[in-house]
């Protein structure tokens, strides 16, 4: 999940108009990526795990998925993080280590924190006997 906090920006000295609303200079504005990434109009069934949705992404999905931020303030380690994620996910899939795994809790509670710190600081999984990957 992307950073759940609002990515703040300050309106420049010229002011700014967005969707017909004028924001005076110095106003703090921002967009919470959570509100973009879990928008059901763009990402149908946004709370389900469906990586296959990215096999044929819509223009809206490509526009609104900004997990690492955009522009001059985007994450400096964006490329490194992406490479690590691709490598880790590939290894997990190839080794089938999650076969039979189910989450212990009903949901993952996230604190509104820059690094998406989760309540309890862990995500617990259990495996059904006999289904755990060898």
Q: What is the pLDDT of residues 78-123, one digit of tens each?
A: 889 889 988 998 999 899 888 888 888 887 776 655 556 677 778 7
**What confidence category does residue 1 fall into, taking pLDDT thresholds of 50, 70 and 90?**
low
- Euclidean distance between CA atoms 119 and 97, whole angstroms: 24
pTM of the full structure: 0.52
- Euclidean distance between CA atoms 98 and 133, whole angstroms: 7
Task: Check if the beta carbon of residue 103 is closer than 8 Å to that of residue 123.
Answer: yes
Instruction: Kindly list the domain boundaries of the chain, sorted by start residue.
Output: 6-95, 96-134
Query: Would you say residue 37 has pLDDT above 60?
Result: yes
* pLDDT tens digit sequence for 51-72: 899 899 999 998 888 877 777 7
**Could you tell me the two tokens for 3?**
């950073």
Task: Check if the beta carbon of residue 59 is closer than 8 Å to that of residue 43.
Answer: no
């Amino acid at each position: 999940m992307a950073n759940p906090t609002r990515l703040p920006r300050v309106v420049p000295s010229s002011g700014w108009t967005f969707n017909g609303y004028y924001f005076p200079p110095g106003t703090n504005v921002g967009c919470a990526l959570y509100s973009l990434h879990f928008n059901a109009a763009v990402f149908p069934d946004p709370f389900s795990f469906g990586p296959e949705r990215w096999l044929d992404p819509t223009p809206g999905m490509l526009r609104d998925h900004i997990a690492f931020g955009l522009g001059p303030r985007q994450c400096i380690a964006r490329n490194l993080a992406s490479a690590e994620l691709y490598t880790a996910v590939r290894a997990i899939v190839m080794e089938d280590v999650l076969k039979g795994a189910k989450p212990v809790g009903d949901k993952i509670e996230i604190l509104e924190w820059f690094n998406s710190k989760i309540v309890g600081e862990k995500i617990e999984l259990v495996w059904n006997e006999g289904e755990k990957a060898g």
